């Protein structure tokens, strides 16, 4: 049995301002660094064999803080754009709550959390899924099938895509799945990569 830990990056400077960040490379806020350190403490007791993160600073900074807490400085680590946040296209940099007022609650929720809802010049969650899951299967799953524990720090949507795959969340259910900044999800998987249990640590 292997353990897979998923951690959404801590609050970024743009999260704090309510701005759609997407692929803009924004650092963690002071609160975000604290959330990352707390995530590290919540992961104590698990020996990790490999770590994966996106190419964006807020995800890499979160992993760095966790590594410091857990003394994992030398753990093999891979950074890949497959784990990057969703590209919000023309919504990037805009205030989420002003967009909500403009479009209304239901439309806003679909744009923000829906499965295959297009954004002008941006990605859908399905697009994110289509890059995250092949990467997971080819680069991460082999570790888990070999009984090695894996840590992933990434983003709200890249992790939602992975959770959809791991838990077989339906297209209709996925808008209800939200992963707060700094949240820790721990899955136990068998040697076939099937999820046997899940734990949420806050």
pLDDT of residue 38: 98
- Counting Cβ atoms within 10 Å, is residue 105 exposed (0-12), middle (13-18) or buried (19+)? exposed
DSSP string, 111-172: HHH-SS---TTS--HHHHHHHHHHHIIIIIHHHHHTT--EEEEE-HHHHHHHHHHHHT--TT
pLDDT of residue 163: 98
pLDDT of residue 73: 87
pLDDT by position in tens, the chain (length 202): 999 999 999 999 999 999 999 999 999 999 999 999 999 999 999 999 999 999 999 999 999 999 999 999 899 999 999 999 999 999 999 999 999 999 999 999 999 999 999 999 999 999 999 999 999 999 999 999 999 999 999 999 999 999 999 999 999 999 999 999 999 999 999 999 999 999 999 8
Of 61, 65, 85, 123, catalytic: 85
Please answer whether residues 87 and 158 qualify as being in contact, where contact means their C-beta atoms are separated by less than 8 angstroms.
no
Let me know if 85 is a catalytic residue. Answer: yes
pLDDT of residue 202: 85
Please answer whether residues 165 and 133 qualify as being in contact, where contact means their C-beta atoms are separated by less than 8 angstroms.
yes
Taken in order of first residue, the domains within the chain and their CATH numbers are 2-201 (3.40.50.1240)
CA gap 28, 32 in Å, rounded? 5
pLDDT of residue 7: 98
Query: What DSSP designation does 81 have?
Result: G
CA gap 188, 19 in Å, rounded? 34
Let me know if 155 is a catalytic residue. Answer: no
pLDDT of residue 87: 98
Of 9, 35, 61, 155, catalytic: 9
């Amino acid at each position: 049995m292997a353990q897979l830990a998923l951690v959404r990056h801590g609050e970024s400077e743009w999260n704090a301002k309510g701005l759609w960040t997407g692929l803009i490379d924004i650092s963690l806020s002071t609160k975000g660094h604290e959330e990352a350190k707390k995530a590290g403490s919540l992961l104590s007791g698990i020996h990790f064999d490999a770590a994966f993160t996106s190419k964006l600073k807020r995800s890499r900074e979160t992993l760095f803080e966790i590594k410091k807490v857990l003394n994992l400085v030398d753990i093999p680590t891979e950074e890949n754009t497959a784990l990057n946040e969703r590209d919000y296209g023309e919504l990037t940099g805009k205030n989420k709550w002003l967009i909500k007022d403009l479009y209304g609650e239901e439309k806003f929720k679909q744009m923000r959390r829906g499965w295959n809802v297009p954004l002008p010049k941006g990605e859908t969650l399905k697009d994110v899924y289509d890059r995250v899951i092949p990467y997971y299967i080819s680069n991460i799953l082999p570790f888990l099938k070999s009984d090695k524990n894996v840590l992933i720090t990434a983003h709200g949507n890249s992790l939602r895509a992975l959770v959809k795959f791991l838990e077989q969340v339906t297209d209709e259910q996925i808008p209800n799945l939200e992963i707060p900044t700094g949240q820790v999800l721990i899955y136990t998987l068998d040697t076939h990569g099937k999820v046997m249990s899940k734990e949420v640590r806050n």
